[in-house]
């Protein structure tokens, strides 16, 4: 369970509402659903700074969404109305807006006039705005609690809410949050669940120890100007988390999920030093750790508990099974998904008939974000899954701590430094924006240390507060949104929040804020329009982003930046993703405005590939059209995005080599635009099984 630290420096205000809204939807029903069944055991990982923010709300904390929700609808000016209209539909449309008639009506009205910003606020009455204020909070209440008052009455009422009813709901939200920590503590004390923490502010620990460690998995990665080497900060983040755990639960912490599954040998040694007995990361880390340890993969299976140290047990998550829950099952019926899950486990059993007692299948995934993509917030799936597992004699559920104490282990001499995303740290370092953020962090930290040494009598509380801002800025979430990997509507806001924490360091020391810290990082320091692939990708050709990580590792060409110097009335393609796996080469087209694409008559997309033998692939497509395999050569679908998969053998006789390509969009015979406009996208696709290059 994780959200970034949104708390603004020296304030009780949170910059974004996601802690509060996910508290209503995910943080309490998840453990309560698990303990309905006697044999179900689940380990919940909590981020300490998330719990701090829940406590802040209970003690009067606010966020902008909550402030706008509290405002009396009749008193709103046009600017506040527009702010509400632009931010109060941030919910999954399929499962959180469409099922509710009133919310759907308001969303449809907003969508029809979204481009008429000047007149849009006047189209909504005070009653409609108040209904929107209520519904944007109401839909986040988990189904488990919808019979509680005032929630039940508001759901039955549907529209024409009063100010009193609205404020009762908002008051109920805060009261609801007071239940969270006591419930976790109670069922933890009963032994019904296990609890672990991450390091306090969710940092990538190996990078705090030494940013150069990123080169272990990516030898050619470009690193920040200043090398960040502060293992003492990594150790501090671990110690603070352990102290928070003991304060809340009255016992020492036994295990830790390191932020984003990020491990290194230096970090594992710290965990051992502080008495932790287990940790976990991804299966890809195991595979490359076996290589590093000169161990044979076939003799050291994934579904085994390993030991480093000695004394620290390491779980390696089953990547496939975990991601099926996180990204695949939401589109299936609950029965089909649960049957698939059980069948997967029973198929594994056949492989381990000689030593079943020591087989462990770690299923580890995001505890909050997946469920809004499921019908009924995942309740149908989770309850059927728990019920089926509860009654399944061949499968035993154990907590991480129980497994670490009960199972035999295999020694692991060496561990690759990496995360659970592509076994590297590419998400958080290497891009110009990421590196700029690390340099600003280094500068602020160096300034604080120098000031503290030169001014030993300075206000102790201000020094303590300044260090807190450094630790917050070390969190993983800021660099998650820098670079090309994750583009969303809040990138610029995350950038601003990150820099505000570093600005606070200088303010607490009475120093002027450096000019570089006042400039946005996001969108300002990218030097190239093209990012080359940094890992293999297997995309599902369905015309949509099937799951969050589907295209992680792909290359990217930014059409908007590349065409920024030219004026166009209409733009169609905003970006081109490109990637490959062992068998296929993939292209994804993102669009500036889906409506513009829908208006094109006789859409034609022409892809020109330049290899040893030039090749042209022409697609005549319609929205929602899916075309299966064409002579075993390629497959495509246009829906929200255009996805194209070509067999590697179709592009090269031997399946690999140099490739350059461009794409042109036509309406019939009329050319609308071509990307890139000058030189095509160029790169090498390596020979199969030679995609990973290791340092000598």
Q: What is the pLDDT of residues 417-462, one digit of tens each?
A: 999 988 999 999 999 999 999 999 999 999 999 999 999 999 999 9
| DSSP per-residue letters across 267-284 | HHHHHHHTT--EEEEEHH
Is the domain of 598 the same as that of 668?
yes
In this predicted structure, what is the pLDDT of residue 483? 84
Q: Considering the domain boundaries, does residue 28 fall inside one?
A: yes
Is the domain of 498 the same as that of 407?
no
Average confidence (pLDDT) over 68-81: 97
Residue 599 reports pLDDT greater than 90: no
Give the DSSP H or E segment for 575.
strand 573-580
Q: What is the CATH number of the domain that holds 402?
A: 3.20.110.20
Average confidence (pLDDT) over 249-267: 98
In this predicted structure, what is the pLDDT of residue 74? 97
In this predicted structure, what is the pLDDT of residue 115? 66
Average confidence (pLDDT) over 246-269: 98
Residue 340 reports pLDDT greater than 90: yes
- What percent of the chain is predicted at pLDDT more than 70? 94
Q: Considering the domain boundaries, does residue 191 fall inside one?
A: no
Is the domain of 535 the same as that of 506?
no
DSSP SS3 for 557 = strand
Q: Considering the domain boundaries, does residue 426 fall inside one?
A: no
Is the domain of 327 the same as that of 220?
yes
How buried is 55 (Cβ within 10 angstroms: 0-12 exposed, 13-18 middle, 19+ buried)? middle
Calculated CA dihedral for residues 384, 389, 393, 395, nearest 10 degrees? 150
List pLDDT tens digits, range 33-74: 999 999 999 999 999 999 999 999 999 999 999 999 999 999
Residue 124 reports pLDDT greater than 50: yes
pTM: 0.80
Residue 316 reports pLDDT greater than 70: yes
Distance CA(290)–CA(254), nearest Å, equals 25
Is the domain of 98 the same as that of 147?
yes
Q: Considering the domain boundaries, does residue 205 fall inside one?
A: yes
Residue 270 reports pLDDT greater than 60: yes
List pLDDT tens digits, range 675-692: 887 678 888 888 876 654
In this predicted structure, what is the pLDDT of residue 528? 58
Q: Considering the domain boundaries, does residue 7 fall inside one?
A: no
Q: Considering the domain boundaries, does residue 47 fall inside one?
A: yes
**Taking the CA of residue 432 as centre, how many other CA atoms within 13 Å lie in the half-sphere pointing to its CB?**
12
Average confidence (pLDDT) over 406-411: 95
In this predicted structure, what is the pLDDT of residue 542? 86
Q: Considering the domain boundaries, does residue 678 fall inside one?
A: yes
In this predicted structure, what is the pLDDT of residue 696? 25
Is the domain of 245 the same as that of 319?
yes
Main-chain phi, psi angles of 410, to 5 degrees: -115, 140
Is the domain of 234 the same as that of 373?
yes
Average confidence (pLDDT) over 198-223: 95
Is the domain of 205 the same as that of 176?
no
- Which of 253-267, 554-568, 648-662 ranks highest by mean pLDDT? 253-267
In this predicted structure, what is the pLDDT of residue 526? 43
Is the domain of 221 the same as that of 356?
yes
Residue predicted with more confidence, 287 or 111: 287
Is the domain of 367 the same as that of 291?
yes
Average confidence (pLDDT) over 163-186: 98
Average confidence (pLDDT) over 325-349: 92
In this predicted structure, what is the pLDDT of residue 249? 97
Distance CA(482)–CA(41), nearest Å, equals 37
Give the DSSP H or E segment for 571.
none
Distance CA(279)–CA(584), nearest Å, equals 35
Is the domain of 510 the same as that of 441?
yes
In this predicted structure, what is the pLDDT of residue 467? 98
Distance CA(72)–CA(37), nearest Å, equals 44
Average confidence (pLDDT) over 273-301: 94
| DSSP per-residue letters across 376-428 | GGGHHHHHHHHHHHHT-TT-----HHHHHHHS-EEE------B-TTTTS-TTT
DSSP single-letter state for residue 7? B
* Mean per-residue pLDDT of the chain: 91
Q: What is the CATH number of the domain that holds 467?
A: 1.20.1430.10
Q: Which segment of 298-307, 369-378, 528-537 scores lowest on mean pLDDT?
A: 528-537
In this predicted structure, what is the pLDDT of residue 525? 43
Residue 604 reports pLDDT greater than 50: yes
Q: Considering the domain boundaries, does residue 436 fall inside one?
A: yes
Last residue of a domain, one of 380, 411, 442: 411
In this predicted structure, what is the pLDDT of residue 440? 98
Average confidence (pLDDT) over 493-516: 96
Calculated CA dihedral for residues 83, 86, 88, 91, nearest 10 degrees? -150
Is the domain of 542 the same as that of 460?
no
The residue range of the domain holding 503 is: 432-518
| Number of domains composing the chain | 4
Confidence bin at 567 (pLDDT 50/70/90):
very low
In this predicted structure, what is the pLDDT of residue 328? 84
Confidence bin at 628 (pLDDT 50/70/90):
low
């Amino acid at each position: 369970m994780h959200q970034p630290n949104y708390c603004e420096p020296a304030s009780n205000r949170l910059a974004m509402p996601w802690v509060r809204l996910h508290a209503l939807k995910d943080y309490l029903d998840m453990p309560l659903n698990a303990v309905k069944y006697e044999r179900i055991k689940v380990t919940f990982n909590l981020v300490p700074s998330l719990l701090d923010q829940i406590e802040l709300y209970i003690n009067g904390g606010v966020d902008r969404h909550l402030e706008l929700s509290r405002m009396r609808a009749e008193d709103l000016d046009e600017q506040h109305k527009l702010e509400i209209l632009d931010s109060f539909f941030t919910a999954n449309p399929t499962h959180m807006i469409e099922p509710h008639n009133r919310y759907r009506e308001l969303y449809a009205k907003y969508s029809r006039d979204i481009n008429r910003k000047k007149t849009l606020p006047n189209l909504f009455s005070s009653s409609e705005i108040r209904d929107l204020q209520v519904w944007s909070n109401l839909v986040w209440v988990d189904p488990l609690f919808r019979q509680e008052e005032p929630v039940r009455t508001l759901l039955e009422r549907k529209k024409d809410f009063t100010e009193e009813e609205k404020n009762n709901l908002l008051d109920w939200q805060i009261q609801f949050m007071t239940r969270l920590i006591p419930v976790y503590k109670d069922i933890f004390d009963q032994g019904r669940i296990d609890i672990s923490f991450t390091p306090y502010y969710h940092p990538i620990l190996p990078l705090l120890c030494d940013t150069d460690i990123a080169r272990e998995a990516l030898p050619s990665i470009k690193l920040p100007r200043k090398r960040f080497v502060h293992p003492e900060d990594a150790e501090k983040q671990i110690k603070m988390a352990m102290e928070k755990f003991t304060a809340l639960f009255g016992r020492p912490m036994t295990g830790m999920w390191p932020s984003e599954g990020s491990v290194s040998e230096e970090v594992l040694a710290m965990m051992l030093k502080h008495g932790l007995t287990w940790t976990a990361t991804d299966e890809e880390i195991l595979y490359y750790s076996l290589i590093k340890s000169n161990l044979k993969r076939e003799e050291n299976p994934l579904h085994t508990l390993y030991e480093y140290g000695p004394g620290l047990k390491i779980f390696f998550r089953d990547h496939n099974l975990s991601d099926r829950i996180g990204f695949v099952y939401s589109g299936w019926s609950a029965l089909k998904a649960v049957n698939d899950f059980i069948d997967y486990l029973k198929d594994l059993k056949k492989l381990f008939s000689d030593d079943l007692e020591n087989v462990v299948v770690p299923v580890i995934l995001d505890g909050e974000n997946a469920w809004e993509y499921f019908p009924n917030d995942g309740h149908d799936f989770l309850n059927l899954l728990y019920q089926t597992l509860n009654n399944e004699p061949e499968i035993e559920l154990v907590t991480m701590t129980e497994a670490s104490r009960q199972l035999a282990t295999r020694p692991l001499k060496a561990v690759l430094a990496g995360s659970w995303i592509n076994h590297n740290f590419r998400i958080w370092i290497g891009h110009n924006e990421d590196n700029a953020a690390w340099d600003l962090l280094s500068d602020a930290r160096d300034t604080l240390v120098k000031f503290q040494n030169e001014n030993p009598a300075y206000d102790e509380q201000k020094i303590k507060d300044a260090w807190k801002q450094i630790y917050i800025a070390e969190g993983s979430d800021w660099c998650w949104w820098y670079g090309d990997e994750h583009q969303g509507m809040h990138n610029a806001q995350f950038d601003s929040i990150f820099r505000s924490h570093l600005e606070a360091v200088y303010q607490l020391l009475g120093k002027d804020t450096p000019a570089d810290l006042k400039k946005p990082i996001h969108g300002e320091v990218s030097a190239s329009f093209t990012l080359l692939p940094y890992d293999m990708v297997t995309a599902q050709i369905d015309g949509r982003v099937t799951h969050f990580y589907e295209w992680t590792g792909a290359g990217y060409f930014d059409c908007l930046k590349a065409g920024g110097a030219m004026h166009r009335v209409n733009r169609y393609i905003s970006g081109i993703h490109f990637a490959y796996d062992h068998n296929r080469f993939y292209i994804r087209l993102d669009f500036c405005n889906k409506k513009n694409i829908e208006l094109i008559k006789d859409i034609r997309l022409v892809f020109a590939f330049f290899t040893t033998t030039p090749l042209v692939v022409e697609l005549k497509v319609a929205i929602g059209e899916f075309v299966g395999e064409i002579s075993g050569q390629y497959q495509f679908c246009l829906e929200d995005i255009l996805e194209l998969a070509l067999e590697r053998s179709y592009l090269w006789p031997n399946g690999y080599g140099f490739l350059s390509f461009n794409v042109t969009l036509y309406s019939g015979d009329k050319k609308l635009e071509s990307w890139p406009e000058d030189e095509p996208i160029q790169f090498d696709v390596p020979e199969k099984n030679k995609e990973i290059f290791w340092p000598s």
